[in-house]
Amino acid sequence: MAYVKPEDVVENMLQAGASKGDLSVQDLLIRGILSGVFLGYATTLAIAAATQTGFGIVGAIIFPVGFVMIILLGLELATGNFALMPIAVMDGRTTVAKLAFNWTWVLIGNLIGGVLYAFLYYVVMTKVGHVDPATIAVTKKVIAIAEHKTIAYAHLGFAGTVSAFTSAILCNWMVTLGAVMALTSTTTIGKIAAMWLPIMTFFALGYEHAIVNMFVIPAGIMLGANVTVADWWLWNEIPVILGNIVGGMLFTGMALYVTARKKPAAA
């Protein structure tokens, strides 16, 4: 049957977490860069669709295409690894050192990919600086999003940091659930359908995803947003990464591990 039972899903999560701990720096960087780029593609597609139709939900419906490419190709996305690797450590299948190694290099790869796509997007949309981004509806939206994700939080001070952190928890609860839902089917179309639902949900609700922000905020800065690199990291990226870790590790990875892992056979 195409459906995979929850206890087998958790076993597959553990195997995936363990295998990720053995990947080389080269593999982590290449797969991480590709993931950052593909999420950049998905984000610009979603923004374009929402801008052209006037309905934000259209963008949310389309956005999961990026995650589909990442999951089906077995690439590395730090936010997904925040759920898979801690339970592999808990189960004794990998180590804390390998977890830290993976998270560090995948985050670096995701960042490179996001910024790279942001630069290429800037080149195309502005014709290498010859077109004012403020005259293009889609790039105006990117600028507005970048400012909303940074200086809007800054105006609130500590409350803004707490808001970004909490939004990131809610985001990665759904994102990691998407990665897990892909394991509930053995067919390609089943995997796509299952992962689509939670990914669409987080994007439609506007929650904070660290890797998406590694594209959209640098792109906004390049396009002229009133945002500095310090604003990006202080008011968004750092609290969002931390919130994504909590959301994925506790509410998806550990919750499912505790309740659905295969119990040892009785003696």
Contacts of range 137-144, beta carbons closer than 8 Å, 24 or more positions apart: 137/51, 138/44, 138/47, 138/48, 138/51, 139/223, 141/47, 141/50, 141/51, 142/44, 142/47, 142/216, 142/219, 142/220, 142/223, 142/225, 143/220, 143/223, 143/224, 143/225
User: For each of the chain's 267 residues, which pLDDT tens digit applies?
Assistant: 599 999 999 999 999 999 999 999 999 999 999 999 999 999 999 999 999 999 999 999 999 999 999 999 999 999 999 999 999 999 999 999 999 999 999 999 999 999 999 999 999 999 999 999 999 999 999 999 999 999 999 999 999 999 999 999 999 999 999 999 999 999 999 999 999 999 999 999 999 999 999 999 999 999 999 999 999 999 999 999 999 999 999 999 999 999 999 877 655
Compute φ and ψ for 155, nearest 5 degrees: -65, -25
Q: What pLDDT does residue 263 have?
A: 79
Q: Which class does domain 6-259 fall in? A: mainly alpha
Q: What pLDDT does residue 265 have?
A: 61
What CA–CA distance (Å, rounded) separates 114 from 134? 22
Q: What is the pTM of this model?
A: 0.96
What CA–CA distance (Å, rounded) separates 89 from 167? 26
- Contacts of residue 47, defined as CB under 8 A and 6 or more positions apart, other chains included, come to 59, 138, 141, 142, 145
Counting Cβ atoms within 10 Å, is residue 221 exposed (0-12), middle (13-18) or buried (19+)? buried
Domain ranges in the chain are 6-259
